[in-house]
Structure 1
Amino acid sequence: MTTGSRASGLTGLARIGFSSLSRADAELDELSELVGIARDALLVEAPRAADPTEALDGLLRIARRDPENAGAVLRDERGRAVIWRLLGASRGFADFYLRRPGSLPALLDAGRVLPDDAALRAAILGAVGAEGGFAADAGESAWVALRVAYREQLARIAAYDLLSDDPVEAVRAVSAALADAAGAALEASLAVARTRVAGGGAGVFPRSEVEQTQLAIIGMGKAGARELNYVSDVDVIFVGGAAPDAEITEQRALDIAHRLAVQTTRGISEMEVEPPLWEVDANLRPEGAKGALVRTLASHLTYYDRWAHTWEFQALLKARPLAGDPDLGAAYVAGTQPKVWASAGRESFVDSVQSMRERVMEHIPADDMPNQLKLGPGGIRDVEFAVQLIQLVHGLVDEAIRQPATLDALDALVAEGYIGREDAATFARDYRVLRLLEHRLQLVGLSRTHLMPRTEEGLRALARASGLADTGEGVQRLWERIKREVREVHVRLFYRPLLSAVAALPEDQRSLTADEAHARLAAIGLRDPGGALRHIRALTSGISRKATIQRHLMPVMLHWFADGADPDRGLLSYRRVSERLGDTPWFLRMLRDSSGAAEGLTKMLSSSRYIGDLMEWIPESVAWLDAGERLRPRSGDILRAEARAIQDRHESLESAMTAVRALRRREMLRTAMGAVLGALTIDDVGTALTTITEVTIQATLRAVQRDVLGPGDASLDFAIIGMGRFGGAELGFGSDADVLYVYRPEGVEPGRAAELAKRIVAELRRVSEDLRLPLDLDADLRPEGRNGPIVRSLDAYAQYYRRWSVSWEAQALLRARGVAGSRSLIRDFLAMADEIRYPEHLDLASTREIKRIKARVENERMPQRIDRTRHLKLGPGGLSDVEWLVQLLQLEHGHAHAALRTTSTLEGLAAATAAGLVSEADASQLEASWRLAARLRSANTLSSGVTSDVLPTDRRALDGIGRILEYPPYSANDVEEDWLRAARRSRRVFDRLFYGDPD
């Protein structure tokens, strides 16, 4: 080869991924000559090797020893793909084939499918000539044959894994195959052990006695769960005894079983000509390394009943018969599993599991912590411990989640609703990736390791072997991201916030006698301890899962209820909601898993009768507490789309209105919950309630028109105009919806048009009634008030306003805004209204009339025997003062200042301030009182469930209002004083600006 072509060849080798290029070049020449295959043919599969240099080094060493078998594999297209992938990922397999080149031809058909359990057992047991539970040979050669056969099958599994198009998805199947191979190896080793013990090399017992001895090998940990690694300790428990109808004693059988267990372990783990496979670890047995290696089934069960620690039950979760006597193995699992699922009831169970996880991390060397793939934070153990804890807590009553394998358990926990889909998807995806990384690291030396590489070369090889990244830096970034994701989900699932809250309670409040409980309930603020006890008993009595969880929840929730304004009402509402939800699985699970949701629920129910009454009918709304964004009002577009879908689904007026009412109640409840929990401002509330009311009216009008109008009436224009606080988009809880109704014949005979319009209004008022959550469509602001027609044509409105309207009617139009019906009619109505509400000049008589009416309203509409200063709407400094002042300014200056042409009180006030009509200081006082009055009015409705414009005098009621407004507990005086102070200041400004009175 010339110098130029040699340089070109070296460049090509570098592109493939070789290091030490000159050496690789020479080794390729040697390998080509040894196996008689051209260099180019040899290199076809090299780019797919994780480490081409290691693969070439291994191939050359093997070919030097056995060029014939090496050449046979390299000449075959399939064999060449397998050998480059296998040796590029594993020096351990290169060493194996160097020792056993005769095993190479088995690779020619490897990697196409995973060998199943039957195939693995046939191959490995066949290697020792096992038949009837005994091996054909008891010598050292039998163990060598076993280990060689096992590694040949391991290579087949690895080939499938390395050639997989989606190795992350293949992790579950690969891990199961590895566990099956381990089971087959133990079965084969036990067969050799029986032969040795019964007269073979170490035989000391008659064969007949060995035949009468039962030995079951129970797989624990990953082997038991069929999620094993390539190289891992295989945790086992040995169960022995005499077979049924055996002539030997139980003790004699135990002695034989002990010898069998020792020999079985030696066959797998001790040094021989062929290196050990892995360590057989029996330290999970009762009493650990100090306990008997083999016990009878009865001895095992007695130990678990009397002395077992919590961690031992956690270990048993994955127990599975792996080898040996199948009946005894099945009996062991059947006897121990009920104890596993009952273990969560042990004292401090959760704490002990959490402490165990923490102790595991404490024993990780500090230098290894950042690289610990398995044991460190964000590693494999974080997934496994979280999943196991949730399984153990709920598995007693839910057999569906009793899955030993982590991924199977995750699937079950999602299906049963114990883990959210997003968290479970993160866990499952990241767990597979972590296990794939672990597999690739262990393949390198066929050695037990869980540490990420510390060198760039190691990371680059891992990236290529796993297919997860293109570079070492990429796989490191992936690992760091997964650590963060896994740790975040682990902490959320593993360290249950509500359990911590329960643990913080004084011990004497967790379990009380009836008399002590009665006294305790009274002491924490419940006015009816007897009634509270009845509610608690109803919620917690029985042995159901629901009652059990309620018993765990109740101590903490009672303290939260007691922090509310009305704990008795809160507890009653909670009982009603719980009973309505029945056995719904997500409800109590959410409260248990999320202290925020539980605390939020208790706060709402003990603060707001309005919410409690609605939630009783919409109990599924509790789920919104687990997702903060669901407490935000939904947009008008979304609600309108849902309302239109209702109309499409329901043909009859009554069924459509049932669905519309349900939509309104749900969204009103959502808004109330957001308001009480502090997620919404008063502006958010006003906007949300206005939107909900608009959508309800729009949907109701469509449904009514579809029912009332015939085919020839479709051209009738009809619209609803929002007035008052509704028109201003300033609704509060309990506000009426002030409206005007208008129509235009448009091709319909006038008399029939008038009749149809009246029928539409009558049906609107009838079907919009809702006894549970009243919606009052109040048309009293129409021309002539209650004495005027309920609906008019557009021309009739225009004629009336231009000829006969008085000042208050023009003033009422300042808040007119189209909310439903014909857009063109709304546009024309508002254009007509603009001429009336924004006059070019407001005469003195009209101004005086407005002021006279305002004074009359204060005197005549104020309820009897009510302290005027406490009336939030009509009292001094209340809503009416601010609104009338702004409206007077709009009437006087709206024609000249376009910004004043708004239906919103606060927008109008801001525009008046910007125009210099109101000083900033005055505007600040007016806005503060208006906002506080609006908030107090809504809070009063939320707290009491009854609409009222009067600030209550009852201190408890005032305190309840204060808590909704986020005052500290027992702030009744502060609430009252804040309002009276704001109202006085606002009234002074109002008198000066509206009436012209000096300060």
Structure 2
Amino acid sequence: MTTWDPGSGGVSTARLVRLGFTDAAAAARRLEDPALAGIREDPLLLEALSATADPDLALLGLVRLAEAADDRAVLLSTLASAKPLRDRLLGVLGVSAALGDHLARHPEDWRTLVTYDVQDAHPTPEYFRRTLAAALEDRAHGAPTGEEALDTLRVAYRRCLLSIAARDVCGTADVAQVAAELADLAGATLDAALDISRRDHPADAAQCRLAVIGMGKCGGRELNYVSDVDVVFVAEAPPGVDEGPALAAAGRLAAALMRACSATTREGSIWPVDANLRPEGRNGPLVRTLASHMAYYERWAKTWEFQALLKARPVAGDLALGKRYADSIAPLVWTAAQRDNFVPDVQAMRRRVVDSIPHGEVERELKLGPGGLRDIEFAVQLLQLVHGRADASLRSGSTLHALGALSTEGYVGRADGASLDEAYRFLRLLEHRIQLFRLRRTHLLPTDPADMRRLGRSLGYRSNPVGELEATWRRTQHEVRRLHEKLFYRPLLDAVARLQPGETRLTPTAAAQRFEALGYADPAGALRHLEALASGVSRRAAIQRTLLPVMLGWFADSADPDAGLLAFRQVSDALGNTHWYLRLLRDSGAGSAGGAAAENMARVLASGRLAPDLLLRAPEAVALLGDPDGLRPRSRAALEAEVQAAVGRAPSAEVAVQIARSVRRRELFRIVAADVLGHLDVDAVGRALSDVTAVTLSGALRAAADGYARDTGTAVGTRLAVIAMGRFGGHEQGYASDADVLFVHEPVEGVDETAAAKQAHAIANEMRRLLQLPATDPPLVVDADLRPEGRQGPLVRTLASYRAYYERWSKLWESQALLRAAPVAGDADLGARFLEMIAPLRWPEHGLTDADVREIRRMKARIEAERLPRGADPTTNTKLGRGGLADVEWVAQLLQMQHGHAIPELRTTGTRDGLAAAAEAGVLDAQDAKVLDEAWLEATRVRNAVMVVRGRPSDTFPSDVRELAGVGRLLGYRGTGDGAVGAGTVIEDYRRITRHARAVVDRVFYGEVDEAPAGSR
């Protein structure tokens, strides 16, 4: 059917719109252009234009080409008679404005698309080398040099690019073949650029042999249309030439080669040549000998450098020298997985890449973003490096080839491998189409609707190009992210679980290798745990098989994966048959809409020993991890009500305290979990722990009193109050803190004081006994040694007895200890009167005398000298060491006792509040207060982290490397790509912070430097 109607002025705009043109009026005018005379009447022209990605762009490019062509008649007649040319030429013009510009400048290049013989259907590297070399030869006038040669190279390069793009757009080459051809063309271009450099520097060319090693996508034969071409240069001195001059000459040739490709001339540039993957990066020499390369890689190279070398391939220059380089570095590449911290390094590098993406671009980033190309490439490379040690079939620089081999050999499930292959091809094709438009280096999905429409049509979406493209992109992104998370772990399950007939399974040896690479210290033990969790056909095993792939990854991302997996097995053994536990894991697992209970569980269980110990004593507390409010500490009032109600119903004191202690176990787990997951700061942890301790003591005190009344058959004839001291009174408790207390009582009216005292002692002692049962519970030590006369004095005194003692016998250190006194349990009125009674002691009416200050300084110096454990490092002891907790607290307490009588804001039991009030009142320099506050926070965080990791208290950093790494992670240190958490970094940061604090202590607390204890500086 004829589409052209000269009598009516051409094709109607309505028809043009139906054919896919967006600017029908402009299209109609272009069809009237005289340059198209003789073809516009062809009924197949509009049909061919309509089939392109952007008919408007294709028509514009055709008009410009026809106007510029010297052989226009031949062009138009060939276009009309040869469908292959029509499809190729219009297809390219419809996706690439840049190649349309090239054809308008060099219209004779359309002939490149006329025919393909069998040999050139998929051109070889040699074909591209011959083509570029031929362009640089001019038998009549001699080979071009200088900028003329660079222009010639650029034109010839784009002519080759035009033929690749035509095969790509017309579907005669798939995305893998296109990427391989682009890499081969890059190698040929590097060779041509090196030839130009040799012609321009003949003396240098004679003094050296130079090989160009392709890295990255160029080395892997999976290059983009526009990309930096990553290379490494290797040089060698020919016979009779010294190595120094040879390297200098090779460096000049290499630099000239890079300029030949990246310089901008009248014909633009080709692409930048990036040599920053060389040893020492941009700070290292541009060219090295093979021996120098090997010395660096054997001694200094980091994990990421071996990952980069996985794709190293000779691409230009002296290929024999290049092959020797590749053969030499291969053994180093395929043993890289044995390096310490290999997997954490690779994972940290991937995290850094994602973190570097601008926030507004994350969801449109095809290459670097979550669910993008890098997710697939990193996962594939990680598996290659782990299993390629023993399996040579995996040693390919191509992502798709490697993925196929991983699937064939059973390291990746076949369905997962096929899904990732499809996703990778889609993402690469999308990336190619985006770059083809302007031949610009970009990996961002465009936001402009016209660009999205062209992209969608180029991929075959016609009914709704934008919507279909976006839906496919989101679906692919989600699938890649899901598979990225399970790719490394699913085959581990297949090693122990039942497989379908015909499936390949990961061998036990390969599974152990993978566990070892992931950081598991006991691969055999990990396999046993996995088998116990995932084997069988039960509902429980099925749910575990669903969750374990991602949970194994979360465990591997911790400092102690073995402990995390073991704890998960233990909790699952304890709760696996309860319906709610299985439902919690299923409905709140990885990626579910219901929450993140499974991830929270993995992170908490792998944090150290304290959380698993608590959870195993109270397995039902795992439900907190699936509750949106479950990790929020409960208020003291709510806990008090729960405990008191339970104690009131209990049949005996033992049962009552067991209930109180069960509440404490649950709340301790809640606090630890919230802390590990980053929901609580230091102050919140201290308040929550202090509240839990206070409520537990309150319940135990009531239980002991009620039990005494039941056992003796007499009413309790005295009122009791518990006064918190130390960090307990300051609401600054840590996980390892004792409950420092004083007991005060007051007989009720009409009760003999001796009898009342006997009752008070019996109740206080029973309370302490009950709190230590059962022995398997987390200990709660009630320490009353700060009472008058210490452990030699009576456990409980009346208010009058305390008053008499303090007025007559008390020492300065006791007044200092009372700074933190706060009632926490028992009779509230009695507690308040106790505080009123001690106020003059802790806030002396006229402050401190000089003699008092000297006495406090002497006490502090004596404690430092006598109580620091023998052999302990004073720079890392968090309690008594230099700049540690005691240093900071004594400064705050000295200022409180000196100025508290005049400055009410200093009358606080909290250390940080005291420092802040002192700075606000001007009795402490604001910068000094900041330094002290930072040191107190850091020391507290370290003590808490050590307790979480080790499950037992310590005032110093652990000596075990794995435990120290766990402490570092809890403190916020992550792997950097140069190694996992560095012990030196964690400890040196602590020393730096506390060293500054000790300088403030020496100046503010000790006053004159000569009053400081020996060695304190």
TM-score, structure 2 as length reference: 0.49
TM-score, structure 1 as length reference: 0.50
